Structure 1
Amino acid sequence: MKLWEKGTTVNEAIEKFTVGKDRELDILLAPFDVLGSMAHVTMLESVGLIEKDELPVLLDSLKKLYQHALDGDFKIEEGVEDVHSQVEFLLTQELGDLGKKIHSGRSRNDQVLLDLKLFTRSGIREIVTAAGQLIDILLARSEQHKEVLIPGYTHLQVAMPSSFGLWFGAYAESLSDDLELLLSAFRITNQNPLGSAAGYGSSFPLNRQMTTDLLGFNNMNYNVVYAQMGRGKVEKIVSFAMANLASTLSKLAYDVCLFTSQNFNFVSLPPEFTTGSSIMPHKKNPDVFELIRGKCNKIQGIPQQIALTVNNLPSGYFRDLQIVKEIFLPLFSELHDCISIASLALEKLVVNEHILDDPRYDYLFSVEAVNKLVLKGVPFREAYRQVAEQIEKGEFKPEKAITHTHEGSIGNLCLEEIARKKSQIVDNFGFEAIEKAVSALLQ
């Protein structure tokens, strides 16, 4: 069953190729397609395109479909082209001609635009929640181990003293900035395209502000041509923001892989968080972080895939955009899994508290020695020369007391400030207002 069918049977090979993975992927969009239909029919009743007594009948059936979609019971039947067709087919099957009225004033083009916006909005919320929890874990571990010093590196050479407080806290703040970028992408997402129809509007007296409010959008894509142009653009912007977060996770995972090696021995994982070797009985491999690194590196390629698919398209709808769904929709569960498993593993990460007992790290304190001379009145360049000479002669004796006090340093981690930054960013998403609007629509 196809909404556009006019009596001509499509060649079987052509149909298989053009439908692609839509049936499989559209299951992810099902609850959002139903929500959009609920808002749309509510609006149609307000402008006289559906009778007053017909609206509760439609809404009741749509609510049942919504619950089926949430429960995983929604299926796109063989021969049905996509989720939009399946929803209309089921309504028509149950309600007869009344079910056929729901498509007035819209096209599958703005339906899929809306579905993708609602899906993305929901997916971003899950990512933000998971990332917020990971930030909290990192801040807690930073506070827990703030006194434990570790080597800091430049060029992978021993450089200056760092600490687990700094290391954990650095990733907490980095992820907070990643959420800031995701917030910008969310604001572009959280605009209603419904009513743009096939990209050129409708002669029906649609009330687009009403559907915007019913679905909890912050505002709408006002220009109907731009609403259609937003397909692919939104996915590219959101995927870039998520790739940025994945980049932070990948770097963190690389650090952990490095730090768990015997050559570093800064941290270790509990045995149940590692895997072994089929021939080397001593091996305890950090596969979990290697896979986080690999998956997050893969995610960083997704914006380029989307860009290469959509960048050479003129305005209007083209079937190329179907391919973007295959790239974009799985992104959310993949990144969410990486964040969740990183949270689980980092909570159990075991810290070595005696790293700097090893004399190989004595030169970490050379800058501290230079600075102490400067504080006694020795010009910096002369102090640098004196300490360098001690090192060359093998006479350097480190003093391992650290007295860093400025904001963000070993002795002043600013963890409360980072936590506050994170909370302010999360609050700015306004998820509660969206939840309130959607809950009202479902009542």
Structure 2
Amino acid sequence: MKLWDKGIATDQKIENFTVGNDRELDLVLARYDVLASIAHAKMLAKTGLLKEQEATDIVLVLEDILQYCNSKSFTIDTDFEDVHSKIEFMLIEKLGATGKKIHMARSRNDQVLVAVHLYLKTEIGELKNLITELFELLLVLAEKYQDVLLPGYTHMQIAMPSSFGLWFSAYAESLIDDIIVLNAALQVVDQNPLGSAAGYGSSFPIDRMHTTQSLKFSTLKYNVVAAQMSRGKSEKTAAFAMSSIAATLSKMATDACLYLCQNFDFIRLPGHLTTGSSIMPHKKNPDLFELIRGKCNKIQSLPYELTLLTNNLPSGYHREFQLLKEGLFPAVENLKSCLEMTCYALQNIEVNTSILKDSKYKHLFTVDTLNELVTRGIPFRDAYKIVAEQIEKGTYTAPEAISHTHEGSINNLCLDEIRQKMQAVL
């Protein structure tokens, strides 16, 4: 069944090429298409375009279909072009002529638009929940290991003292930025495009505010052309937000891979969370973090993939929009998986509490020594030369203790303030 079938058979090669893997991808949108159809049917009844009994019958069947979709057993057979035609066929199969009325005052264009918007709203909410879980774990680890020092690096050279408290809470606070970007994406997708039809509205006296409220959108995308133009823009905006999260996870995964290396030996993973080599029996590889890094780097390319698909298209619908789903849907699942696995790994992480006993870190505290001389009244440049000379002569001795008291430093992590900042953006 094709919603546009006029009795003219399509060449099989053309059909295979134009449908592509849409049936598989549309399974993601099935429940959202049903929810939008329920709202649409109720609106048609309110405006008198459907009789009350017709709308009631349609809604009851759609609610059954929704349960079917939620059960994960819903399929789209090759007889159908997409999810929209499958659901409409199921309505007609149950209700006959009444089922044929559901497509009144809408198009597949605004059907897929509203389904994608509803999907992205849901997935953004799930991403925020997963980020919050990781954020809380990072703060717990920061507090637990706040007194364990580790070397900080610049140019991949030993630089200044850091701590696990700083490291864990740095990524926690970075996740706040990612939530802010996600919130911006949510504002973009939380606008109802239903009723824009093929992109130029409808001559039917529909009530678009009714479906906006039914589907719990914050607002309506008023201009019907603007609603159609949100196809591609919504996906791209969400992809940029996902890219921000992926960048945070990728950087942390890279740190973890370095810190797990025997040359660093800052952290360890239990053996059951590592993988081995086919010929080297001693290997315990951090494949988990390497794949998180790789998957997240792929996700960071997604906004540019979607940009290249859409950046030279004029207003109105174009079939290229179908290809947006190919990159977006798997990326969402991969990002959720990366967040879950980062949490899973960090719950089992083992921290080396005696890193700085290694003699190669003896110059880690030179800046602290320099600053101490300055507090005694020695000009900074003179103090710098004094410490540099000690290093060259091999007479430098590191201080026994350090005190970094300003906000966000080793001895003043401001974990409560970071938590409050997250609560504010959530």
- TM-score over 0.5 for the pair: yes
User: How far does the alpha carbon of each residue in 1:188-234 deviate from its partner, in whole angstroms, 9 at most, with x for none?
Assistant: 01100000000000011111111111111010111100110110111
Tell me the distance in 1 between the aligned counterparts of 2:392 and 2:61.
82
2:251 is the counterpart of 1:251: yes
Tell me the distance in 2 between the aligned counterparts of 1:167 and 1:293.
18
Show the counterpart of 1:345. 345
Paired residue secondary structure (1:158): strand
Q: CA deviation at 1:54?
A: 2.0
2:279 is the counterpart of 1:274: no
Show the counterpart of 1:66. 66
Residue identity in the other structure for 2:179: L
Show the counterpart of 1:437. none
Show the counterpart of 1:199. 199
Paired residue secondary structure (1:423): helix
Tell me the distance in 2 between the aligned counterparts of 1:352 and 1:75.
51
Structure 1 residue runs of 5 or longer lacking an equivalent are 427-443
Contact 1:196 1:202 in 2 (8 A): yes
Tell me the distance in 2 between the aligned counterparts of 1:316 and 1:152.
52
Show the counterpart of 1:374. 374
Residue identity in the other structure for 1:323: L
Q: CA deviation at 1:126?
A: 1.1
Paired residue secondary structure (1:105): coil
Residue identity in the other structure for 1:358: D
| Correspondence 1:393-412 to 2 at 5 A | 393-412=393-412
Paired residue secondary structure (2:245): helix
2:125 is the counterpart of 1:128: no
User: How far does the alpha carbon of each residue in 1:45-90 deviate from its partner, in whole angstroms, 9 at most, with x for none?
Assistant: 0000111122222111111111110111211122111111111100
Residue identity in the other structure for 2:58: L
Residue identity in the other structure for 2:222: Y
Tell me the distance in 2 between the aligned counterparts of 1:347 and 1:412.
24
Tell me the distance in 2 between the aligned counterparts of 1:305 and 1:34.
29
Show the counterpart of 1:317. 317
Contact 1:365 1:400 in 2 (8 A): no
Paired residue secondary structure (1:130): helix
Tell me the distance in 2 between the aligned counterparts of 1:59 and 1:424.
39
Residue identity in the other structure for 1:32: Y
| Correspondence 1:176-255 to 2 at 5 A | 176-255=176-255
- Give the TM-score, by structure 2 length: 0.99
Q: CA deviation at 1:425?
A: 1.7
Contact 1:175 1:248 in 2 (8 A): yes
Show the counterpart of 2:43. 43
User: How far does the alpha carbon of each residue in 1:328-351 deviate from its partner, in whole angstroms, 9 at most, with x for none?
Assistant: 111111100011001000111100
Residue identity in the other structure for 1:5: D
| Correspondence 1:59-98 to 2 at 5 A | 59-98=59-98
Q: CA deviation at 1:276?
A: 1.0
Show the counterpart of 1:148. 148
**How many residues align structurally?**
426
2:290 is the counterpart of 1:290: yes
Q: CA deviation at 1:422?
A: 1.5
Tell me the distance in 1 between the aligned counterparts of 2:296 and 2:52.
51
Paired residue secondary structure (1:48): coil
Tell me the distance in 2 between the aligned counterparts of 1:424 and 1:336.
23
Residue identity in the other structure for 2:66: Y
2:309 is the counterpart of 1:306: no
Tell me the distance in 2 between the aligned counterparts of 1:70 and 1:412.
48
Show the counterpart of 2:18. 18
Paired residue secondary structure (2:347): helix
Residue identity in the other structure for 2:387: V
Tell me the distance in 2 between the aligned counterparts of 1:356 and 1:64.
64
Tell me the distance in 1 between the aligned counterparts of 2:283 and 2:423.
41
Tell me the distance in 2 between the aligned counterparts of 1:265 and 1:325.
42
Tell me the distance in 1 between the aligned counterparts of 2:7 and 2:56.
33
Paired residue secondary structure (1:309): helix
Q: Percent identity?
A: 54
Residue identity in the other structure for 1:203: S
Show the counterpart of 1:360. 360
Q: CA deviation at 1:281?
A: 1.3
Show the counterpart of 1:424. 424
Structure 2 residue runs of 5 or longer lacking an equivalent are none
Tell me the distance in 2 between the aligned counterparts of 1:369 and 1:163.
18
Tell me the distance in 2 between the aligned counterparts of 1:221 and 1:401.
60
Tell me the distance in 1 between the aligned counterparts of 2:268 and 2:327.
35
Show the counterpart of 1:118. 118
Q: CA deviation at 1:362?
A: 1.2
Show the counterpart of 2:104. 104
Q: CA deviation at 1:402?
A: 1.6
Paired residue secondary structure (1:315): coil
Residue identity in the other structure for 1:333: E
Tell me the distance in 1 between the aligned counterparts of 2:415 and 2:83.
47
Tell me the distance in 2 between the aligned counterparts of 1:58 and 1:173.
48
Show the counterpart of 2:327. 327
Q: CA deviation at 1:43?
A: 0.5
- Give the TM-score, by structure 1 length: 0.95
Contact 1:231 1:321 in 2 (8 A): yes
Tell me the distance in 2 between the aligned counterparts of 1:360 and 1:401.
18
Tell me the distance in 2 between the aligned counterparts of 1:304 and 1:53.
48
Paired residue secondary structure (1:364): coil
Q: CA deviation at 1:2?
A: 0.7
Tell me the distance in 2 between the aligned counterparts of 1:371 and 1:225.
62
Tell me the distance in 2 between the aligned counterparts of 1:192 and 1:417.
36
Tell me the distance in 1 between the aligned counterparts of 2:187 and 2:400.
48
Paired residue secondary structure (1:409): coil
Q: CA deviation at 1:423?
A: 1.9
Tell me the distance in 2 between the aligned counterparts of 1:56 and 1:128.
36
Tell me the distance in 1 between the aligned counterparts of 2:209 and 2:153.
55
Residue identity in the other structure for 1:85: S
